[in-house]
């Protein structure tokens, strides 16, 4: 290897005590940038604040650099300086999505082209340019003002600090000799309730209901609300994992015996990492093993090949001739896929890789001209145009997917509109696109990257209701399907359509810094529906209603109250008055003893409908009294603090928390003078406990309140209210119409999140639960999946690689599913699960992909159909079904007559 670069050492000497200069060598295939409002849920407020104060120097505006620039600006740093000295070339069009044909024609500088287009991604980030050369004669003191330096395509002495050849790429990060990471895993700690703690040496903690603790040996936990063994409360103990549901915590023999309750939380312990220098790593690199099924395969051959190329370029000021260069790339491809014999690449002649002076020269050098043509002829259906969809469309444009006018096309569909929260990771969209359709906007942006792209944008949801559009004929015209979805059910449906029409499916997803890709190939792999994830755990009804124990319970309770008050009740109200012609008719029918569904709830709503601001305040005051005082009093009346279960144990023990009624404080400084006057005039009825049954069974479902029988007193009260409303002329057309409010988490002016945050915090206070701030409440109530642009770019790049393999007709062992967690980091490639084949008899097998076709005629009878099966497959049909319908079962009376039916 060449001698180590002196410039890297110079950078560190500028001011090592203040700054850590970082070199990140990245590609748009494996994007692992350490600078990454869903993002806030991944990194937290502290990291977001630090990024917002950081300035970054990024050198090299090729495909690597522009991908990094995109993600850094989306992440929201303070400022970015883009550095480059090269002009736009045709080669750039195949990897830099911000460079267009006219930029090449006009011989513009890359950095001048890229800068305004990168800056457009985030108006809060200051983006400027630098054209100064970076060499031994450059005074590097200007780098003092940057917290991070990222070099791509930078040549220091005899070394390219960043290279990407085909799918092969290397990443080297220099954080100094050691670097402290405050959160080594990026996982949010959970409160885990305790079943038992043994009084022993070592003491063993057992989790309640065999709930997995998710700990690793050596991690520390802090204990809260432990009954009996109270010395543990507030203490931090190191855990030694014994099983997924138990761990030891050292000597507890001298403590009081455990009585009941309590929970523990993982303590985030900062971890110090130590690093070798670039010089040491060049001589002996430590490489991740991406495929644990083949740990013996070393990627150091690629490392050596890259160093050889660098030496060649240093000596000759150029890369090897294209033929030799393409052989190198092919060897890298083979090495990275673990020395498999890849037929499509082996059969290509050297001419296949030669440049032709167009935007696909870089791609052609990797996969050859024939494969490029096959990509252009592809007909792809992509479902979803969100974060992953935007990245995939960019990759399609750079790969030239579906641009052949006679046969190629990329069809995309998404019913959603662009929201503000999309802009930090769905990079094809800009602020002026808000409330425009995602699909049509993404299609237009994709054509800006590659004007030759054939993109057909739809606004439909892919579901049974749209099977008239996305029918068998539609799927039969496709080569493959790509999903960019955010829910399991939609994935399952698309998968079922792909299986029935024998089409390959490429699926991917992210959650925070984690990502997965799955490839599904007809007749080779299992389908998405072949495996089932465990169902999402629902909060029991009785827990939500009476026994919350963690903040998620109070947030869900508040979310349900919002839905009930502002969506369900107004919708029910409107539906009732659309069914019944007038209030007078309803009154007559009720007076005649008729039972009208929802009538009591509707009339109750009508009688309480506020018309003035003061009335709204009064209703809110009564709601406060009901939910945060009286409900608690009633619960304590039904279950006093000394209540015991049949086995003698206390009813109120963890995870059940006894409530504390909240007294409304009129003197609270947060209450304005105006509100104080209104609130002081609200009459609060005297509280009297009811003898009612409170549900404690965690398996019980929420009852259907609409169908609950009404007492005669409630019916008389409803009739009286309606009579009064009619007699006082309060029943107007406006009075018989309400406007339901659909929950919208991203509009900070509508008060929806504020309502849920306040209601949740009050309920948390009632049950002595630590309240959540507005941000956490928004994440949980809005069911926001944490997202970060880097993980999204990574899964899209991995899917694009598998797409090339599908098009090339590669064998089963070439395909790879992937799981990664960029925070740790873990990067695992696995072979897809092979399709299961069920033997029927002799050499006849059946799998999910098999489609046995019988061709009949217009008068084809059931008997003829069965005979055709006998003749074609040598099988004796025992019954004929269609879905869940039995068409022919010999033992069923009358079924024999069906044999003559067409």
Q: Is residue 767 part of a domain?
A: yes
Lowest mean pLDDT among 7-11, 49-53, 83-87, 645-649: 7-11
pLDDT of residue 113: 96
The SS3 assignment for 298 reads coil
Average pLDDT over residues 777-791: 87
pLDDT of residue 302: 78
**Could you tell me what percent of the chain has a pLDDT over 90?**
48
pLDDT of residue 41: 62
Compute the distance between CA of residue 42 and CA of residue 37 in angstroms, rounded to an integer.
9
pLDDT of residue 160: 36
Residues 11, 111, single domain; the answer is yes
66 versus 352: the higher-pLDDT residue is 66
Q: Is residue 518 part of a domain?
A: no
Q: pLDDT per residue over 60-97, tens digit each?
A: 999 989 999 999 999 889 999 999 999 999 989 999 99
Q: Is residue 202 part of a domain?
A: yes
CATH of the domain at 878: 3.10.290.60
CATH of the domain at 197: 2.40.30.180
The residue behind tokens 């393409």 is 326
Q: Is residue 832 part of a domain?
A: no
pLDDT of residue 348: 65
CATH of the domain at 735: 1.10.10.2660
Domain range enclosing 115? 6-183+274-287
Residues 23, 158, single domain; the answer is yes
pLDDT of residue 341: 37
Phi, psi at residue 662, to the nearest 5°?
-95, 130
Residues 37, 168, single domain; the answer is yes
Q: Is residue 325 part of a domain?
A: yes
Q: Is residue 519 part of a domain?
A: no
pLDDT level of residue 326 (50, 70, 90 thresholds): low
Q: Is residue 491 part of a domain?
A: yes
pLDDT of residue 472: 94
Q: pLDDT per residue over 848-859, tens digit each?
A: 999 888 999 999
Lowest mean pLDDT among 24-33, 412-421, 882-891: 24-33
Active-site residue, 542 included: yes
Compute the distance between CA of residue 876 and CA of residue 135 in angstroms, rounded to an integer.
80
pLDDT level of residue 157 (50, 70, 90 thresholds): very low
**Residue 21: pLDDT over 50:** no
**Residue 7: pLDDT over 50:** no
Residues 223, 335, single domain; the answer is no
pLDDT of residue 731: 82
Instruction: Identify the DSSP state of 342.
Output: -
Residues 555, 441, single domain; the answer is no
Q: pLDDT per residue over 531-543, tens digit each?
A: 877 676 788 889 9
pLDDT of residue 266: 93
Q: Which of 757, 781, 805 is the last residue of a domain?
A: 781
As for how many domains the chain has, the answer is 6
Residues 564, 550, single domain; the answer is yes
Q: Pull the structure tokens for residue 307.
A: 């160093």
Given 88, 332, 463, 542, which residue is catalytic?
A: 542
pLDDT of residue 9: 39
pLDDT level of residue 162 (50, 70, 90 thresholds): low
Average pLDDT over residues 292-315: 76
Q: Which of 301, 331, 357 is the last residue of a domain?
A: 357
Cα→Cα distances 295→288, 291, 828, 829, Å: 10, 7, 11, 11
pLDDT of residue 883: 82
Contacts of 474 (CB under 8 A, 6+ apart): 381
Q: Is residue 721 part of a domain?
A: yes
Percentages helix, strand, coil for the chain (3-state, rounded to 5) are 40, 15, 45
Residues 556, 620, single domain; the answer is yes
Mean pLDDT, all residues of the chain: 84
Torsion of CA 695, 697, 698, 701, to 10 degrees: -60
Q: pLDDT per residue over 691-727, tens digit each?
A: 778 778 777 777 765 444 445 676 777 788 888 888 8
pLDDT of residue 436: 96
**Residue 27: pLDDT over 70:** no
**Residue 36: pLDDT over 80:** no
Average pLDDT over residues 517-537: 88
pLDDT of residue 117: 96
420 versus 450: the higher-pLDDT residue is 450
Nearest partner of 589 among 738, 725, 715, judged by Cα:
715
pLDDT of residue 650: 87
**Residue 14: pLDDT over 50:** no
Compute the distance between CA of residue 36 and CA of residue 825 in angstroms, rounded to an integer.
15
pLDDT of residue 13: 39
Compute the distance between CA of residue 248 and CA of residue 240 in angstroms, rounded to an integer.
5
Q: pLDDT per residue over 335-346, tens digit each?
A: 444 333 344 555
CATH of the domain at 493: 3.40.50.720
Average pLDDT over residues 874-897: 90
Average pLDDT over residues 199-216: 90
Cα→Cα distances 309→1, 159, 164, 315, Å: 10, 10, 12, 10
Give a three-class secondary structure readout of 413-462.
Answer: ECCCECCHHHHHCCCCCCHHHCCCEHHHHHHHHHHHHCCCCCEEEECCCC
Compute the distance between CA of residue 258 and CA of residue 280 in angstroms, rounded to an integer.
53
pLDDT of residue 235: 94
Residues 375, 404, single domain; the answer is yes
pLDDT of residue 18: 27
First to last CA, the chain: 78
Residues 694, 774, single domain; the answer is yes
Phi, psi at residue 529, to the nearest 5°?
-75, -5
Q: Regarding beta strands 263-267 and 271-274, do their DSSP bridges make them parallel or antiparallel, or are they unpaired? A: unpaired
User: Does residue 229 contact residue 588 with C-beta atoms inside 8 Å?
Assistant: no
pLDDT of residue 519: 96
799 versus 183: the higher-pLDDT residue is 799
Residues 400, 458, single domain; the answer is yes
Residues 765, 880, single domain; the answer is no
**Residue 624: pLDDT over 50:** yes
533 versus 20: the higher-pLDDT residue is 533
Q: Which of 254, 287, 320 is the last residue of a domain?
A: 287
pLDDT level of residue 332 (50, 70, 90 thresholds): low
Residues 614, 705, single domain; the answer is yes
Nearest partner of 634 among 644, 646, 626, 642, judged by Cα:
626
Average pLDDT over residues 450-473: 95
């Amino acid at each position: 290897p060449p001698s180590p670069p002196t410039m890297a050492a110079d950078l560190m000497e500028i001011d090592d005590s203040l700054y850590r200069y970082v070199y990140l060598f990245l590609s748009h295939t494996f994007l692992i940038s350490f600078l990454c409002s869903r993002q806030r849920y991944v990194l937290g407020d502290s990291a977001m604040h630090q990024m917002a104060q950081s300035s970054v120097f990024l050198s090299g505006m090729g495909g690597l650099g522009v991908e990094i620039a995109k993600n850094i600006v989306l992440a929201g740093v303070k400022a970015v300086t883009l550095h480059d000295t090269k002009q736009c070339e045709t080669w750039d069009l195949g990897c830099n999505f911000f460079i267009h044909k006219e930029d090449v024609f006009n011989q513009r500088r890359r950095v001048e082209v890229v800068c305004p287009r990168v800056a457009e991604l985030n108006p809060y980030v200051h983006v400027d340019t630098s054209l100064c050369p970076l060499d031994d004669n450059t005074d590097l003191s200007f780098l003092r003002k940057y917290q991070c330096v990222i070099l791509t395509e930078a040549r220091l002495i005899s070394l390219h600090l960043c290279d990407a050849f085909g799918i092969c790429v290397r990443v080297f990060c220099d954080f100094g000799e050691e670097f402290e990471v405050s959160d080594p895993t990026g996982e949010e700690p959970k409160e885990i309730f305790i079943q038992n703690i043994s009084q022993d040496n070592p003491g063993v903690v057992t989790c309640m209901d065999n709930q997995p603790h998710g700990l690793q040996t050596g991690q520390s936990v802090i204990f809260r609300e432990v009954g009996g063994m109270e010395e543990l409360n507030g203490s931090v103990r190191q855990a030694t994992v014994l099983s997924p549901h138990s761990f030891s915590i050292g000597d507890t023999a001298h403590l009081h015996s455990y009585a009941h309750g309590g929970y523990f939380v993982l303590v985030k312990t900062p971890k110090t990492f130590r690093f070798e220098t670039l010089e040491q790593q060049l001589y002996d690199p430590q490489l991740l093993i991406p495929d644990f099924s083949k740990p013996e395969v070393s990627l150091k051959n690629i490392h050596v090949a890259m160093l050889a190329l660098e030496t060649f370029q240093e000596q000759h000021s150029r890369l090897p001739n294209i033929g030799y260069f393409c052989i190198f790339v092919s060897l890298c491809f083979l090495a990275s896929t673990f020395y498999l014999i890849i037929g499509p690449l082996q059969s290509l002649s050297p001419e296949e890789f030669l440049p032709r002076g167009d935007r696909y020269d870089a791609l052609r050098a990797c996969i050859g001209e024939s494969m490029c043509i096959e990509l252009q002829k592809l007909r792809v259906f992509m479902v979803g145009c969100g974060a992953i969809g935007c990245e995939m469309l960019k990759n399609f444009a750079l790969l030239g997917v579906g641009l052949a006018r006679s046969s190629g096309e990329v069809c995309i569909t998404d019913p959603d509109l662009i929201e503000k929260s999309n802009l930090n990771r769905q990079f094809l969209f800009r602020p002026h696109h808000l409330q425009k359709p995602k699909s049509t906007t993404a299609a237009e942006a994709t054509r800006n990257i590659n004007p030759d792209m054939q993109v057909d944008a739809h606004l439909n949801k892919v579901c049974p209701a749209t099977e008239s559009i996305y029918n068998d004929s539609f799927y039969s015209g496709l080569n493959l399907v790509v999903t960019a979805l955010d829910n399991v059910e939609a994935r399952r449906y698309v998968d079922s359509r792909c299986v029935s029409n024998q089409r390959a499916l490429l699926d991917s997803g992210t959650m925070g810094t984690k990502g997965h890709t799955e490839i599904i190939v007809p007749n080779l792999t299992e389908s998405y529906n072949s495996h089932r994830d465990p169902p999402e755990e629902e909060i029991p009804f009785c827990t939500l209603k009476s026994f919350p124990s963690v903040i998620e319970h109070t947030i869900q309770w508040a979310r349900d109250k919002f839905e009930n008050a502002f969506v369900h009740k107004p919708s029910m109200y409107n539906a009732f008055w659309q069914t019944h012609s007038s209030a007078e008719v309803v009154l007559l029918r009720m007076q005649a003893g008729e039972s009208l569904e929802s009538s009591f709830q509707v009339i109750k709503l009508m009688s309480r409908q506020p018309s003035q601001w003061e009335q709204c305040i009064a209703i809110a005051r009564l709601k406060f009294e009901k939910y945060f005082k009286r409900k608690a009093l009633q619960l304590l009346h039904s279950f006093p603090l000394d209540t015991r279960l049949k086995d003698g144990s206390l009813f109120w023990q963890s995870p059940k928390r006894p409530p504390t009624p909240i007294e409304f404080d009129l003197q609270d400084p947060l209450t304005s003078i105006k509100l104080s006057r209104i609130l002081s005039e609200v009459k609060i009825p005297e509280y009297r406990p009811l003898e009612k049954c409170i549900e404690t069974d965690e398996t019980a479902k929420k009852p259907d309140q609409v169908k609950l029988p009404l007492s005669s007193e409630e019916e008389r009260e409803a009739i009286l209210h309606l009579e009064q409303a009619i007699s006082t002329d309060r029943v107007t057309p406006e009075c018989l119409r309400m406007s339901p409010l659909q929950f919208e988490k991203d509009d900070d002016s509508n008060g929806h999140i504020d309502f849920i945050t306040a209601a949740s915090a009050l309920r948390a206070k009632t049950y002595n639960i630590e309240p959540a701030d507005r941000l956490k409440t928004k994440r949980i109530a809005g069911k926001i999946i944490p997202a970060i642009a880097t993980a999204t770019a990574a899964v899209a790049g991995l899917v694009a690689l598998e797409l090339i393999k599908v098009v090339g007709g590669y064998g089963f062992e070439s395909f790879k599913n992937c799981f990664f967690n960029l925070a740790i980091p873990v990067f695992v490639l696995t072979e897809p699960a092979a399709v299961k084949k069920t033997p029927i008899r002799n050499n006849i097998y059946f799998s999910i992909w098999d489609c046995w076709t019988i061709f009949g005629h217009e008068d084809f009878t059931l008997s003829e159909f069965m005979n055709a099966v006998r003749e074609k497959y040598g099988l004796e049909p025992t019954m004929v079904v269609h879905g869940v319908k039995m068409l022919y079962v010999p033992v069923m009376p009358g079924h024999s007559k069906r044999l003559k039916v067409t």
